[in-house]
Structures are given as C-alpha cells and as structure tokens.
C-alpha cells in the first residue's frame, strides 16, 4: 500500500502540475482572444463614429454632439462616449461617464497628434473598461477626439468561468487517475510482485519450488528474465554447496559441473584464464525473425564452458557467424552465454585467404591426414604454411592484448590449429602458464617426419608448459618425435622435455562427456523404446525390429565405408536379419570445400545406394543415410533406442560418440562396437572391440551384439557407464587445470623487459 500511495501522490502531483499548466495556457489564450476581439470592435466603432462627429464638431454644434453621444448609451457593453476639443476639454459626454471620470480624464484622452485610432484597457471608476480614442479631422487638421468606452468586466467573468471548469476537470481527472493507478498497481504490479516474493521465499526455504507464471513480455520482460536468472543461480549455488558437502562427506570421486566450478575457483585464484580455439562457443546468424544465436555441436564447448563460467575468463576464437560483427563491440568482444552472461568471448576475424590457407590448407589437408595415418596423403604447400604462421601470430597478439597487465595469467590453447602459439605467447610473457591440448592423435616419428616444417611445429609446442594428449601412446610418440628432431633432454621418468632451460610436461588427459544426473536412473520401458524406434524408422519409410546407429562427420578417418562393408558382409552371412535390422548412419557434412572430403561424401552415398539396391525390399532397406547436421536433441532418440552403436574410426584421438552413446543408455541396454584404433577403446573395454579393416570381424561383432543375452549386455553397459560417470568431462577439465596450476614460472628482469617490448610493439 505504501508503494501505491507514493505512486498515487506522485501521479496526482504530476498530473495536476501538467493540467494546471495547460489550463493556465488555455485561460490566458481565451483572455487574449476576448480582449483582441473587443479592441478590434471598439476601434472600428470609434473610427466610424469619428467621421459622423466631424461636421458637428467643426460647426461647434455642442448640443447636437451631446444628443449624438446620448443616443449611443443603449448599445450592448457600450459604457459611453466623450467628444473633446483640441485642448482635451470635453464638449459632449455621456452622462454615466461624468461620475466615473470624477473630473480627471485619463491620460489616454489627451490629444497627442496621433493620426490613427488607438485603444487601451483602463480602470475607470473601479471598473475595468476599454477606451478607444479616434482623432476627429477636418481635412488635414485635427479638430478634436472621440473616446468610445466599453465595459470589459465580462472578460474577467468568462475567464473566471474557464478557471472553474478547468479546476473541476483537473479534480475529476486526478480522481480517475488515482483509481486507475490503484487498480494497476494492485493487479498489474502487485500480483506479479507477490508471486515473485512467494517464489523467492519458497526457493529460500525449499529446493522444490515451481516457478510461477510470471509476465514474459512488455515492461516486465527484462525484470522477469533477471529474476529467473537469479533464481537459477541461487538454486545452482545451493545445489553446488549440497553436492560439495555430500562429496566431502562420502569421499566420492565423481566430478560434477558444480564441483569443477568450486575447484577451478580455488586453483586459479586471482589468475586470469584465457582459452583459445578455432571454433567459437556461440555463433550469431541473420534469420528471418532477426539475429539469432546458436551453440555449435562440439565436445570442446562442453569441456571448456564450465571452466570459463567458473572463473569469468575469456574465450578467444574465430568468428564464423554472419551476424558476429553486429553483436560484438569494437574489440570483437561480447559477454556470453547471451541469455545469462558469465564470461567474455573475444572474436578474431579471418579473411577468406587466411581461412583457405590456415584452416582448409595446412591444418586440414596437411596436419589432419598426417596425424591420423588413414591412408590419405597429406598435402603441404608453402603458401598454406605462411598463412598458418600468420594466423597463429594474429591469435597470439589477441591473447597478449587480453592478458596485458594481468598477474600470472593462465592460457589454454586448443588443438592442432595453433601449434605455434605457445612459443609466441611464452616468449612475450614468460610469467604466463601456457598449456596446449592436442585433440587428435600424434603419429610415430617416421610419419611425422613427412611434414616439411616439423621442427617449427615442435618448437612452437615446446613453448608450452604443458602439452596434453588423450592417451599415453600419443604422449610417447610425441616424446620420441622431439627426441629425434630437436636438441633436447627427454626426461622419460617424468614425461617431460627440457629445452633451452624450459621444461615442458607431457601428460595424458582422456577427454570425456558429461553424464547428466537424470541419466543415472532408469529410462522408459522396453515396450516404449520399441515403439519409439519403430516411429523413428517409419519416418524414413522403413519397418524393422532392430536398429543400429552411427554418428560421425563424413570424414575419411571415421571408417564409414569400412562400416558399410561390414554391414554388407553381415547380411550375406546372416540372411535371417534381412528385413529385420536397419542401420541408421547420421553423417554431418564436413569441410566440403576440400576436394578429398567432397569426393568422400560421394563415395559414402554411392556405397550406401549400392548395398541398399542389393538387399532392400518395398518396406525395408539395410542402411538409412542422413547427410545433414543434426542437433543433440535430434540424435538422442536414436542413441536411446538403438540396439547397437558402431564406432569404426580408422584412427581417432578419443571419439566422443562412443561415450555419448554409453552416457545416454540409462536403461542399461545397448551394445557398443568400437574400433581398436580409437582412444576410447583404452577405457571402454566392455565394448566389442574390432579392427574396422577386418570385414569378417565387423560382421561377426554385429551378429554378436544382436544375439547377446540381455543380462550380459546390461552388465557390459553398466560397467562402461561407471567408467564414463567417473571419468567424465569435468574430471578431464579439473585434472588439466590442476596440472597447469602446479607449474611454477619465473621471469628474469631481462625476460620481463623483452616481454614489455613485445607488448608495446
């Protein structure tokens, strides 16, 4: 009520002030209009009557003049007339005016030689009047004056009436506004505020507080959004505290998003964290409805976001959305996530020439096939190398600008796109802790020796304090490559390289996925899953009792062709499954600007068509190939209902599809067929591990998966889920940050001077 009273008083005062201002303006305008009309009429009358008076005054016919002025006394609002000679003495005057003049004619009646009529409002005998004075002329000579007096009191009467009407209107409007305000505050503002207050009280006293139906548009939109964010943050903070307390009490090893947040805040302290990657976590695009944002499908985003949110760090990445510039400031920065900002995204723009040479050329036609050893010849061009160097320098400059003035900054570089960056950053900022995580395999020294710039790449990587890989074999390959190419000391017992007085630790950090808490319980019944699977297949015009799933970028390293040949052999060996088992391959187009990828997409489509043409019927086909980008929400139903998932990569650093499938199967069903050439095969030992080049082994594994007893498949899946649950993405991020923060750096005065020189330049 106090708020309503204050609003009413303010509104009443404001409305009254505005209304009175308008009223004053209107009344003043009305007064001026009435006075103007009276003056015009009086002057016209005075001039016309002066012409009638002229012959009488010239003939000194004073009796006739007196009779003339006496006849005018009956006119409306005309108070009288007076005729004066050149000396200003009255020669004829209306009898009513004699008493009012009291023997002292007003100054306006004095003859001043004016040639035109003039008028003025005066007080005469206590009454407000208008006097119009016109000269009486005989030829060119003024022989006297005529004064015409009008009663102007009616103007004050009309103005008073206008004021009374205005005040009555103001009073009515004020009462109406007060009533409307009370209703508005009570129903439009008071009710939502009471709902929000009850909600916040429930959140404070209970963890199960459903959100009310708050206004979602108009003036309440931003307020509702902020209150919702506050409630979400409050709930998350309490959940984090409860989770941390529970973990401490039970001494559990499971990592969660909240535990990672607390851990990162404790380890980083006041240090600034900067993450660098080629892919940005949020893209902005022009759509028909306006600018919209999206999150690219990437395990990298899942891995890095909890860290950056925890410490309010900065993520530096290439701008890829067509509306990225409109949503960034002059430095290319914006706060993200867009709906709940917690850290900074700094975008770096590359030219088409830079993208072609750095990304498509050296990174993906050179390093990618070189490291994957998937029988695709790497292509190295000098012009691509120049662009690779230039882009690494551009990103390094962005990092150095971001950490300028920061004490003990922490820089985490991601993947093979930025192999040169650690050295560039460390040279300028010796006090910075720098790590790089290499997400793809590292080949043996002989294979890596193909690269003409192997020495420069290794020197760039060894600028880091920490180099991370998915599995120990890749760490060993890296150390052996360094040992063969560069003058250095390999500390095999510590998995480290000492070069030019700088120690680089080489560690194994197997990346993983997040297992949502709701995925820990049981899922829908087998019957519901069967119906959902039938519905998914029916969308593609297929009827089948069993379904398999494969999810990959259409990349020659993923073993998609080998998978299809294994399926073909399966249908040859086990014809009973024809018409009963369908394999769904979700293949997202990738790097189609590169000729090898473009050709490979055609090969995959042709192979699927060939096998389907061989076995399909009117209601069934063995392979459903979906070659477009799918969101996680679109993929989940396939994961959840597939009898088996095939991951047949020819060479892979980890392959998160295998872990995503396991994390999704909360029902305990499903079988994973996994290539032995993936990093995931070192952890998920309960998968059916195969050599994707061995077509017979792949076909046998498919049959074994479909025929496996339910209790055995549930046991295998349960053990794999335990591995993914314990070694999840949050543990990966926590271990990486912990190892990096253990590194101690020191800069000599000379080194610091050199760093300052680089920064100034």
Q: What is the pLDDT of residue 670?
A: 96
Across 213-234, average pLDDT: 61
Q: Of 27, 130, 18, whose CA–CA distance to 81 is shortest?
A: 130
- What pLDDT, on a 0 to 100 scale, did the predictor assign at position 436? 97
Answer yes or no: do 599 and 507 share one domain.
Answer: no
Give the pLDDT band (50/70/90) at residue 22. Answer: confident
Residues 45 and 140 in one domain: yes
Number of domains in the chain: 4
Sheet strand arrangement including 623-626: 623-626, 581-588, 546-553, 644-647, 671-675, 688-690
Residue closest to 82 by CA, chosen among 41, 111, 40: 111
> For residue 172, is it within any domain?
no
Q: How far apart are CA 260 and CA 256, in angstroms?
A: 6
Q: Residue 757: what pLDDT?
A: 46
How open is the CA angle 240-242-245, to the nearest 5 degrees? 105
Bond before 426 cis per omega within 30 degrees: no
Q: Is residue 361, in this structure, part of any structural domain at all?
A: no
Instruction: Kindly state whether residues 115 and 62 are assigned to the same domain.
Output: yes
Q: Which of 196, 226, 250 is the last residue of a domain?
A: 250
Same structural domain, 451 and 582: no
246 and 259 inside one domain: no
pLDDT digits (tens, 9 = 90+) for 24-74: 888 888 888 888 888 888 888 888 888 888 888 888 888 888 888 888 766
Q: Note the residue count of the chain.
A: 761
Residues of the domain holding 231? 218-250
Domain boundary among 465, 491, 514: 514
Nearest residue to 729 (alpha-carbon basis) of 619, 647, 654, 640:
654
Going by C-alpha positions, the residue among 393, 363, 388 that lies closest to residue 378 is 363
> Residue 554: helix, strand or coil by DSSP?
coil
Q: How far is residue 483's CA from residue 469's CA, in Å, rounded to a whole number?
A: 17
Q: Lowest-pLDDT range, 19-33, 351-365, 502-516, 580-594? A: 19-33
Question: What is the per-residue pLDDT across 510-566, written as a single tens digit (0 to 9) for each?
Answer: 999 888 655 444 445 566 777 889 999 999 999 999 999 999 999 999 999 999 999
- 69 within some domain: yes
Q: What is the pLDDT of residue 626?
A: 96
- The answer, yes or no, to whether residue 220 has pLDDT greater than 60, is no
> Has residue 759 got a pLDDT over 50?
no
Predicted confidence (pLDDT) per residue in 637-690, tens digit: 999 999 999 999 999 999 999 999 999 999 999 999 999 999 999 999 999 999
Band of pLDDT at residue 708, cut at 50, 70 and 90: very high
Q: What CATH code is carried by the domain that includes residue 270? A: 3.40.50.2000
Is 746 a domain residue? no
The mean pLDDT of 472-499, rounded to a whole number, is 96
> Which of 157, 177, 208 corresponds to the end of one domain?
157
| 120 occurs within a structural domain | yes
What's the CA gap between 613 and 398, in Å, rounded?
54
Lowest mean per-residue pLDDT among 79-88, 315-324, 626-635: 79-88
- Is residue 437 in a domain? yes
At residue 756, the pLDDT reads 43
In a domain, 356, yes or no: no
At 613, is the pLDDT very low, low, confident or very high (cuts 50, 70, 90)? very high
Provide the pLDDT for residue 203. 64
What whole-number distance in Å separates Cα of residue 303 and Cα of residue 281?
11
**How many CB atoms are closer than 10 A to CB 679?**
26
- The pLDDT tens digits for 116-144 are 788 888 887 778 888 888 888 888 788 88
Together in a domain, 137 and 224:
no
The predicted structure's pLDDT at residue 647? 97
What is the average pLDDT value for the chain, to the nearest integer? 85
Average pLDDT over residues 267-286: 91
Looking at the structure, tell me whether residues 323 and 277 fall in a common domain: yes
CATH number at residue 96: 3.30.450.20
Mean pLDDT of 691-719: 97
pLDDT at 749: 40
Shared domain for 498 and 598, answered yes or no, is no
Q: Measured between alpha carbons, how far is 256 from 728 in angstroms, rounded to an integer?
A: 8
| CA–CA distance, 305 with 702 (Å, rounded to integer) | 37
Over range 691-699, report the average pLDDT.
97
Whether 576 and 660 share a structural domain: yes
Instruction: Enter the DSSP assignment of 366.
Output: I
Are 494 and 593 in the same domain?
A: no
Spatial CA neighbour of 152 closest among 50, 49, 42: 42
Q: How many CB atoms lie within 10 A of CB 750?
A: 9
Q: What is the pLDDT of residue 206?
A: 57
- Is-contact 543 537, C-beta < 8 A? yes
Judge if 224 and 331 occupy the same domain.
Answer: no
Measured CA to CA in angstroms, residue 663 lies from 255, 261, 464, 470 at distances of 15, 22, 33, 19
pLDDT given at position 417:
97
Query: 151-184 pLDDT, tens per residue?
Result: 888 888 888 888 888 788 877 877 787 777 777 7
Q: Is there a domain that residue 285 lies in?
A: yes
Q: Domain check: are 471 and 609 in the same one?
A: no
Q: What beta strand segments (E) does 589-705 contain?
A: 623-626, 644-647, 671-675, 688-690
User: 223 or 192: which carries more pLDDT confidence?
Assistant: 192
pLDDT at 108: 62
């Amino acid at each position: 009520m106090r708020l309503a009273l204050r609003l009413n008083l303010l509104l009443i005062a404001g409305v009254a002030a505005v209304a009175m201002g308008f009223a004053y303006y209107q009344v003043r305008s009305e007064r001026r209009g009435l006075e103007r009309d009276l003056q015009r009429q009086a002057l016209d009358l005075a001039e016309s009557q002066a012409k009638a008076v002229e012959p009488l005054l010239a003939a000194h016919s004073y009796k006739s003049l007196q009779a003339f002025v006496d006849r005018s006394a009956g006119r409306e609002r005309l108070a009288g007339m007076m005729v004066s000679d050149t000396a200003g003495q009255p020669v004829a005057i209306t009898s009513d005016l004699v008493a009012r003049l009291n023997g002292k004619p007003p100054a306006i009646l004095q003859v001043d030689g004016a040639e035109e009529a003039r008028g003025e409002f005066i007080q005469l005998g206590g009454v407000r009047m208008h006097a119009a004075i016109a000269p009486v002329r005989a030829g060119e000579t003024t022989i006297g004056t005529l004064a015409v007096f009008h009663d102007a009191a009616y103007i004050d009467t009309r103005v008073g009436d206008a004021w009374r009407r205005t005040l009555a209107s103001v009073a009515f409007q004020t009462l109406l506004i007060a009533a409307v305000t009370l209703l508005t505050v009570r129903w439009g503002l008071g009710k939502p505020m009471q709902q929000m207050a009850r909600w916040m009280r429930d959140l404070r006293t209970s963890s199960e507080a459903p959100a009310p139906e708050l206004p979602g548009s108009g003036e309440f939109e931003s307020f509702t959004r902020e209150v919702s964010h506050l409630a979400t943050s409050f709930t998350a903070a309490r959940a984090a505290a409860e989770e941390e307390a529970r973990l401490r009490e039970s001494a559990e090893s499971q990592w969660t998003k909240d535990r990672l947040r607390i851990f990162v805040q404790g380890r980083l302290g006041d240090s600034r964290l900067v993450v660098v990657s080629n892919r940005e976590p949020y893209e902005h695009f022009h759509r028909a409805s306006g600018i919209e944002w999206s999150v690219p499908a990437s395990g990298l985003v899942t891995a890095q976001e909890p860290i950056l949110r925890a410490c309010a760090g900065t993520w530096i990445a290439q701008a890829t959305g067509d509306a990225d510039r409109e949503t960034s400031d002059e430095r290319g920065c914006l706060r993200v996530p867009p709906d709940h900002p917690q850290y900074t995204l700094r975008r770096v723009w590359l030219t088409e020439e830079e993208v072609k040479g750095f990304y498509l050329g050296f990174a993906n036609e050179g390093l990618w096939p070189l490291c994957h050893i998937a029988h695709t010849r790497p292509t190295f061009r000098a012009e691509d190398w120049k662009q690779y160097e230039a882009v690494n320098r551009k990103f390094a400059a962005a990092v150095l600008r971001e950490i300028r003035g920061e004490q003990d900054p922490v820089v985490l570089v991601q993947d093979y796109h930025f192999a040169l960056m650690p050295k560039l950053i460390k040279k300028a900022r010796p006090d910075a802790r720098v790590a790089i995580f290499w997400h793809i395999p590292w080949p043996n020294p002989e294979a890596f020796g193909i690269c003409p710039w192997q020495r420069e790449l290794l020197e760039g990587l060894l600028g880091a304090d920490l180099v991370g890989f998915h599995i120990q074999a890749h760490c060993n390959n890296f150390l052996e490559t360094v040992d063969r190419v560069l003058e250095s000391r390999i500390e095999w017992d510590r998995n480290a390289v000492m070069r030019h007085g700088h120690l680089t630790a080489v560690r194994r950090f197997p990346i993983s996925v997040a297992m949502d808490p709701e995925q820990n319980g049981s899922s829908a019944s087998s019957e519901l899953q069967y119906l959902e699977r039938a519905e998914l297949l029916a969308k593609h015009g297929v009827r089948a009792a069993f379904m398999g799933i494969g999810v990959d970028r259409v990349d020659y390293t993923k073993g998609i062709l080998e998978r299809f040949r294994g399926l073909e052999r399966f249908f040859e060996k086990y014809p009973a499954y024809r018409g009963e088992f369908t394999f769904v391959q979700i293949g997202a187009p990738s790097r189609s600007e590169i000729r090898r990828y473009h050709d490979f997409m055609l090969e995959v489509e042709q192979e699927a068509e060939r096998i389907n043409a061989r076995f399909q019927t009117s209601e069934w086909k063995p392979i459903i190939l979906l070659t477009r980008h799918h969101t996680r929400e679109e993929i989940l139903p396939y994961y959840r209902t597939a009898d088996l998932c095939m991951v047949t990569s020819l060479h892979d650093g980890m392959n998160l599809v295998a872990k995503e499938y396991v994390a999704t199967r909360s029902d305990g069903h499903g079988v994973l067929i996994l290539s032995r050439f993936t990093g995931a095969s070192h952890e998920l030992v309960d998968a059916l591990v195969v050599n994707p080049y061995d077509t017979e082994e792949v076909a046998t594994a498919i049959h074994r998966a479909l025929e496996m007893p339910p209790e055995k498949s549930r046991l295998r899946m349960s053990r794999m889920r335990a591995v993914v649950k314990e070694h999840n993405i949050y543990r990966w991020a926590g271990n990486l940050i912990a190892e990096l923060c253990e590194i101690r750096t020191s800069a000599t005065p000379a080194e610091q001077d050199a760093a300052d020189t680089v920064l100034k330049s």
